[in-house]
Amino acid sequence: EIVMTQSPATLSVSPGERTTLSCRASQSVRSNLAWYQQKPGQAPRLLIYGASTRATGIPARFSGSGSGTEFTLTISSLQSEDFAVYYCQQYNNWPLTFGGGTKVEIK
């Protein structure tokens, strides 16, 4: 099973700041990596797939990069609605696995 490790566990950020979240895979997943956002009491929302392709309706301030084992999600200017938990997910190997999440909180 591929283990996905996200860092940091919690990120304290001020609105308007740029922030970068990291996701590492225990073995190569090529570009088969997705990012999701989850707010309290809500279902997850797909942000990025294919490591760097924004899903439908996702604002341009969200961008993804990386391949192989190292990936990043960048939010260029944090808005109030972006404070949430973010998960990465690999879909290169069975079983499909998620990272433990990074919580982005208001500083």
Partner 1 sequence: EVQLVESGGVVVQPGGSLRLSCAASGFTFDDYTMHWVRQAPGKGLEWVSLIRWDGGSTYYADSVKGRFTISRDNSKNSLYLQMNSLRTEDTALYYCAKDIGAGSGSYTFDYWGQGTQVTVSS
Q: State the Cα–Cα distance between residues 88 and 97, nearest whole angstrom.
A: 9
Shorter beta-carbon distance to partner 1: residue 69 or 97: 97
Element at 86 (helix H, strand E): strand 85-90
Q: State the Cα–Cα distance between residues 98 and 87, nearest whole angstrom.
A: 7
Minimum CB separation of residue 97 from partner 1 in Å reads 7
The residue whose two tokens read 């998960």 is: 87
Closest to 75 in 3D by CA, of 84, 67, 64: 64
Counting contacts by CB under 8 A, is residue 58 touching partner 1?
A: no
Counting contacts by CB under 8 A, is residue 9 touching partner 1?
A: no
Q: How many residues interact with partner 1 (rule CB under 8 A)?
A: 24
Residue 8, both tokens: 């940091």
Q: Which of 19, 37, 69, 89 binds partner 1 (CB under 8 A)?
A: 89
Counting contacts by CB under 8 A, is residue 46 touching partner 1?
A: yes
Residues at the site binding partner 1, with contacts judged by CB under 8 A: 1, 32, 34, 36, 38, 42-46, 49, 55-56, 87, 89, 91, 94-101
